[in-house]
Structure 1
């Protein structure tokens, strides 16, 4: 089978890039040929004889909008010339306007545009206006792209609902959650002192972008005021972040530990007692999967895509990300009972083991093979 994957990056990184990386390798392991229309591709993947990289250069374009348009146009032009030689074409969202067989949806811009934490709702300036234009254009392009495909894969139940809300028929939607590296993220212990973490205290961990309020660190900090025996470690770039000042204003400086941007998140998770991430808007966050794979109980919110896999056995899912009192109660519940945390951590790992990258990639390859069989029958 000859498969074509269209996406900006196919790397062992985060999010969409990692999903496509795993799909490409699984397809190759199954004996298929993979053509990749992308701007960057993992070096080892490039070296596989079954992988073929068509480089799509967009670096010269000065904005995301123009870069996206250039990528879409170049991919569409290549596909128009070579489509007959391909069995399956998988695109990601609106990254090309050419007809596809599968569209993997990692984000729905129509829903993001309506979110109360969209930059345009928070900043009525040039930056906010640009973000509004970027989201509005992508929302329009996505709707057109979803009409030009056979199967739409949503990366969470939340994304599925967002697709239904914009008119994608339910019988064309499949849900395949993102995966997790079960070797990199696994239960264990680490030396808190070497990681810059406080010793001898109960420690919650928050990981994410803290430059804006989207991930909801502000609510976590306000809830922490009512959880006096708990410390919080925060991994994320602090330059330009409003939260160090908020910590000072709330008199939490002795209990909140900013770690800056970190690449050793798996080690940080081994040093924490539980994970807190009540994000106000996520399509399907990898960090929740990484936390449960590390054997951590989690506190999250319904507004975080992927939260549907968090059961009461392994964590707490808040119905409302803005309910600071409920968040404080959840923090207190986990902070006060080590035995409960241990039980929840074991249950968390068991759930994560059903979401390995290999198992997730296999589901996509099964859809490829299903589509090929249908084409043969026709």
Structure 2
């Protein structure tokens, strides 16, 4: 099979860009794989054929718009050359398979419901227009892949996409890269962040701090420390914060922790090169995200053997409540977040059992398995 895949950036860093890289490496073992990208790194397979799609320097809107036009033209011209053309996100108007990693209208509606919808900007208008063109007006796709059932439902609700046009295939995890480590090997990293032997570490990995619920998480930690007396709890926030409206970087969150008197208990690491080691610093992974198409950090944390507390959306759909994690009914409810954390703080046996089961669950979603499921979608498309 001749497969063309596009990704504006081809890399194993990040969830969306990693998706194409992981699938391409596996497909290239048996098929001819071509990657169309403006930039690539972490290339681990010399069987993959790369094609440069040049982009002009400029703001992200110019880059995204140019790439969309380039890939739309290329996809239409290449249809006779390839068996499958697979793009991620909103990168082309002519394709066989598109993976809808998120539904921008869904994200905006979610933020609107909690009163945090920022003024609609040019990039928002661009993404909404492309969604409408691809999913409602033109529908030049042959199949859409969604990372979760919640994203599938959004496509059906907002753009009236027929259910039979959508396949749900979650993102995957490399269970050999993200795995439990001997805690003794982590002492230098624990010392770096001031984590003592008796501390219980809550962990979150994120870049969009507000959407991922870090405000609520800090407030929940405040309840646990100052109202319920769990003085040895520490919250480790891994990731470099993006600018979200008036919240510029992590300044807002540092000031919030200081205002609550828990600045010493909330640790901001910034970007981390060794994510597996940082996951293993945690005792409990907490992800009270307000909107998520998937949320790959949840699956990576589970693969590392951490018990997880998660919203019901995105990767939360993979969790069986009280078996391999705890699910939040309302990710905006600070008391509920604190209660779920306290449940695991006081019950070490439950914490260990959930972590062991989480690792077993994560192994059901390795990239090898996800690649096979994606190939099944390709084969279905070719049969039609």
Is the pair's TM-score, using the shorter chain for normalization, greater than 0.5? yes
Q: Distance in 1 between matches of 2:45 and 2:55?
A: 19
Q: Distance in 2 between matches of 1:75 and 1:261?
A: 31
Match of 2:319 in 1: 310
CA contact (8 A) 1:108 1:162 kept: yes
Tell me which of 101, 108, 115 is aligned to 1:106. Answer: 101
Match of 1:177 in 2: 170
Offset, 1:209: 1.7
Offset, 1:134: 4.0
Offset, 1:257: 1.8
Which secondary structure state, in structure 1, belongs to the residue aligned with residue 79 of structure 2? helix
Q: Could you say if the C-alpha distance between residues 66 and 131 of structure 1 is closer, same or farther in structure 2, counting changes exceeding 3 Å? A: closer
Q: Distance in 2 between matches of 1:118 and 1:70?
A: 32
Which secondary structure state, in structure 1, belongs to the residue aligned with residue 223 of structure 2? coil
Q: Distance in 2 between matches of 1:283 and 1:92?
A: 13
Q: Distance in 1 between matches of 2:334 and 2:92?
A: 41
Offset, 1:113: 2.3
Q: Distance in 1 between matches of 2:121 and 2:96?
A: 34
Q: Distance in 1 between matches of 2:20 and 2:97?
A: 13
Q: Distance in 1 between matches of 2:206 and 2:28?
A: 33
Aligned length: 364
Alignment deviations for residues 107-148 of structure 1 (CA, whole Å, 9 cap, x no partner):
111212222269994544xxx534543443343344258711
CA contact (8 A) 2:136 2:161 kept: no
Where does 1:94-133 land on structure 2 (aligned, <5 Å)? 94-98=90-94, 100-116=95-111, 121-124=116-119, 129-133=121-125
Match of 2:131 in 1: 139
TM-score (norm 2): 0.88
Match of 2:59 in 1: 63
TM-score (norm 1): 0.89
Q: Could you say if the C-alpha distance between residues 119 and 332 of structure 1 is closer, same or farther in structure 2, counting changes exceeding 3 Å? A: closer
CA contact (8 A) 1:112 1:118 kept: no
CA contact (8 A) 2:99 2:144 kept: yes
CA contact (8 A) 1:282 1:305 kept: yes
Structure 1: which 5+ residue stretches go unaligned? none
Q: Distance in 2 between matches of 1:82 and 1:115?
A: 37
Match of 1:247 in 2: 257
Q: Distance in 2 between matches of 1:371 and 1:331?
A: 44
